Structure 1
Amino acid sequence: MLKIAHTICPSCSVGCGVNLIIKNQEAVGTYPYKRHPVNQGKNCKKGRDSFHILNENRLKNPLIKKTSLEQVSWDDALDAASLKMKSYSPIEIGIIASGNCTNQEYEILKKFAESMGVENIGYNAGTFPSFDFKTATLDDVENASTILIIGDVLKENPLLGRRVILAHENGATTISVDLFEKTLTGINSDEYIQVGSMSEFSEISKQVLPKLNESSTVLIENLKTSTEFENILKVFEGSDAKILPVLDDCNSKGAMNHLPALNKDELKEILEKVKLLYVVGDDPASYNIESMKNLDFIITESCLVTETALMSDVVLPGSCWAEKSGSFTNTTGETQKILKIVEAPVDARDDVNIMIELAEKIGLEL
């Protein structure tokens, strides 16, 4: 028997609606959500393929490292994790999350850290530091008279790119800036400016700024460092243009609303100064394994088999996005609810419940 259930795509920060096709309690495909206001019945390839996340490379049982990772009961895994966390001082503990958790998970994780007195906490923010200004909306993009695009939005975020194309069809001028000789966005822009590095942007801005006004939007994607983002923002301080940072993960903006945004250097600093690391949804071993070699103990809570999970001392199998209820906040700041559609596989559990049970084992009140 087939069932179709609506959810929010987890593939990027735009927040498109997507319908999962469920057969015998397993996700087997997707179908565009025709009335969703973000993507208006369209889904990109990443959105169409999003159901694969539920079925591939999953963690299914709690694990503890003995001579190797071995399957154990939930009580044994939580006991091992809680006993170790209680044996370290707050300054020796680090907590790192990803931008793919729900808002409810960030809220619980923040309370968890505060109850333990842990200050070494944050989420992997990629190249975007925390910001609190009101961003452009998708309608602002579609109705703009001029659009300045930093990065290859049409390739990386096709449904946001669709709004750019609609604006262009309505007469908007599009200007693209990127590091590469040729990009999909550049090919489809009225003007393409190639730069050797984003440090050149302040010079280029002198020819671009006069073309922007209150009906213009600026899309910022594909930066290498958070400093580049901060410097680019300074360029637009005197402009009336609306700005839309295109964040990396599906709930990067939600994470930013609850936890410190950590760039690569800040993540490295935490990894090198703590002794026990609690990872929720992220995979720091994939981008900073050298800094993890001096850790005494690693606890990973994740739905996927990752490099970090494989080197962990305790692994707590969590739920994937369609296996839990909560909410995501997209890159324009719009919060959308998701509902549980299918069960998590085998012995995996809801992440909020895992955090609460771990806190209870430690003796914390959340």
Structure 2
Amino acid sequence: MFEIKHTLCPSCSVGCGINVILDGEEIVGTFPYKRHPVNAGKNCLNGRNSIDNHKSKFEDVDLDKAIADASNEIKSINASDVSVICSGNDNVEEIEAIKEFAESNGFKIGFYADDLKNFEDVASYDEIAGADKVFAIGDLLYENPLIGRRIVHAKQNGAKIYALSKNENAVTFNIADETSNSSVQEFLDAFIDEIDDSSVVVFNYVDAAEDLDKLESLNSKVLPVFSKPNTKGALNIIDPKSSEEMEELFDESKLLLVFNEDVVEEFDYDFTKISKIISFACCENETTKIADIVVPVKSWLEQGGSFVNAMGEVQNFNSVVESDNLGIVEVIEELNK
């Protein structure tokens, strides 16, 4: 018998709702959650495919042994040589537990937020649609379509659209009045006289830390859009590191504890230099393939929790399916014994 359960899309920080279709305990598909206030019945391709990673879950892993092996490895190495990596894929409750675990044991902690940072006063999605001018940094119509939808609404409402992308064929260019392939600094400088309190600047990347300072100094509201669902929530709890700082952390580590992050995919770094890697992950990724120990953990579909979306709204979600695995909070409780 088919059943429908509501949850959140984990594909980026926009915070769209999705419906998951179950045939018994088997997930067989998704479709948009029409009454969800963020996406109102629309989902992008990433959202529709968000359950795919659930299909690459670990089979035939002895969970008790994996946790015991991880615990023994952690206890065998000096705390100063251990680094804990958390992620915007972790929910708020998991981030809090990971931070407490690292600090109480004297471990270093690393969190990467796409080289972006926390902006306290950000634009809402409705403010994008209602702006007189929208400055889009990144191909938002292609990469974050539900944000792109608000930019299209702004255009339909008479707004002027300024678009910057490294891609000369960016989809966002199709609706833009002004386009650029320049650096972020050059783009902002070129239109600085146009950016005012009737404008919104939306971005999903920067070229350098100086760009963040420039964005923070603007007279308009801004909205950073992150690649992971709870990056904003993590930023409220942990200070992020730049990509260079993360690589310095890797250099200092003999044991890397990676919680729901694919560091191998994320960073151009030789991870064979690190003596041991333990990956706590809900599904297979490039990091689990090279990890010395893999501890399977519950995915967002298998537990309740909360994400903080790009606007700063806390969004709660419930489990959709049952799992024999433990969540990250429960795994940390076992490691602390």
Give the TM interval when normalised to the shorter protein.
over 0.9
1:285-324 → structure 2 map (5 Å cutoff): 285-288=264-267, 290-324=269-303
Q: Does 1:249 align with 2:228?
A: yes
**In the TM superposition, what is the alpha-carbon distance from 1:236 to its structure 2 partner?**
4.3
User: 1:16 maps to which residue?
Assistant: 16
Structure 2 unaligned runs (5+)? none
**In the TM superposition, what is the alpha-carbon distance from 1:162 to its structure 2 partner?**
0.5
Q: Does 1:91 align with 2:90?
A: no
Give the Cα–Cα distance (whole angstroms) in 1 for the partners of residues 213 and 239 of structure 2.
21
Q: Does 1:103 align with 2:82?
A: no
User: 1:175 maps to which residue?
Assistant: 162
> Which residue of the other structure, out of 102, 111, 119, is the alignment partner of 1:123?
111
Say if 1:59 and 1:318, in contact at 8 Å, map to a contact too: no
User: 2:3 maps to which residue?
Assistant: 3
Give the Cα–Cα distance (whole angstroms) in 2 for the partners of residues 237 and 48 of structure 1.
34
**Bigger-Rg structure (1/2):** 1
1:180-259 → structure 2 map (5 Å cutoff): 180-195=167-182, 197-198=183-184, 201-202=185-186, 204-223=187-206, 225=207, 227=208, 230-259=209-238
Give the Cα–Cα distance (whole angstroms) in 1 for the partners of residues 95 and 46 of structure 2.
25
Going from structure 1 to structure 2, the CA distance change for 1:219 and 1:352 (only over 3 Å counts) comes to same
Give the Cα–Cα distance (whole angstroms) in 1 for the partners of residues 177 and 80 of structure 2.
53
Q: Look up the equivalent residue of 1:214 and give its one-letter code.
A: D
User: 1:65 maps to which residue?
Assistant: none
Going from structure 1 to structure 2, the CA distance change for 1:273 and 1:237 (only over 3 Å counts) comes to closer
**In the TM superposition, what is the alpha-carbon distance from 1:294 to its structure 2 partner?**
2.6
Structure 1 unaligned runs (5+)? 63-71, 361-366
> Which residue of the other structure, out of 298, 307, 327, is the alignment partner of 1:328?
307
3-state SS of 1:50 partner: coil
3-state SS of 1:357 partner: helix
User: 1:49 maps to which residue?
Assistant: 49
1:348-363 → structure 2 map (5 Å cutoff): 348-360=325-337
User: 1:77 maps to which residue?
Assistant: 66
Say if 2:232 and 2:310, in contact at 8 Å, map to a contact too: yes
User: 1:147 maps to which residue?
Assistant: 134
**In the TM superposition, what is the alpha-carbon distance from 1:285 to its structure 2 partner?**
2.5
Relative to the length of structure 2, the TM-score reads 0.94
Give the Cα–Cα distance (whole angstroms) in 2 for the partners of residues 234 and 244 of structure 1.
14
Give the Cα–Cα distance (whole angstroms) in 1 for the partners of residues 298 and 162 of structure 2.
41
Going from structure 1 to structure 2, the CA distance change for 1:281 and 1:169 (only over 3 Å counts) comes to same
- How many positions carry a matched residue from both structures? 337
User: 1:364 maps to which residue?
Assistant: none
**In the TM superposition, what is the alpha-carbon distance from 1:291 to its structure 2 partner?**
3.3
**In the TM superposition, what is the alpha-carbon distance from 1:289 to its structure 2 partner?**
6.9
In terms of mean alpha carbon deviation, does 38-47 or 177-186 score higher?
A: 177-186
User: 1:69 maps to which residue?
Assistant: none
Q: Look up the equivalent residue of 2:270 and give its one-letter code.
A: S
Structure 1 segments of 4+ aligned residues over 4 angstroms from their partners: 287-290
Identity of aligned residues (%): 36
**In the TM superposition, what is the alpha-carbon distance from 1:91 to its structure 2 partner?**
1.0
Relative to the length of structure 1, the TM-score reads 0.87
Give the alignment's Cα RMSD to 1 decimal. 1.8
Give the Cα–Cα distance (whole angstroms) in 1 for the partners of residues 128 and 336 of structure 2.
44
